[in-house]
Amino acid sequence: MNDKNAPKPPKVNASKEEHRRFAREVDEYEPYKVAPEGGVQTDAVPDGEGPEVEEEEA
């Protein structure tokens, strides 16, 4: 998707202050706040990868 209204990032070697100013624009840009349908969900690691599950305290 090419959003023509989205804030335009400075060049990578721009000053820190330019990146900060841009970041504040991004903070306010509403379309980036819209989660895709179903949200951003992660998946489960298969059983057996971690240590044995501890007994939960009552």
Partner 1 sequence: VVYRPTFRKQLDGSACQGDNCGCASSAMASQRAREGRDPGNQYAWPPTPRAVRARIQAISGGGCGSTNFSENERACATLYNVDLQPRYNVPWATFRSMIIAGRGAVCAIQYSVVHGTRFDACPTFQGGHSVYVNERRSSGGYLVYDPLADGRRDYTLAPDWWPGSFLQKAMYAYPGTNSGCVHASFTKDTE
Q: Which among 56, 2, 24 is positioned nearest to 10, based on CA atoms?
A: 24
- Tell me the longest C-alpha to C-alpha distance in the chain: 55
Gap between the Cα atoms of 22 and 11, Å rounded: 11
6-45 positions binding partner 1, by CB under 8 A: 6-7, 9-10, 12, 16, 19-20, 22-23, 26-27, 31-36, 38-45
**4 makes contact with partner 1 (CB under 8 A):** no
Q: Interface residues with partner 1 (CB under 8 A)?
A: 1, 6-7, 9-10, 12, 16, 19-20, 22-23, 26-27, 31-36, 38-54, 56
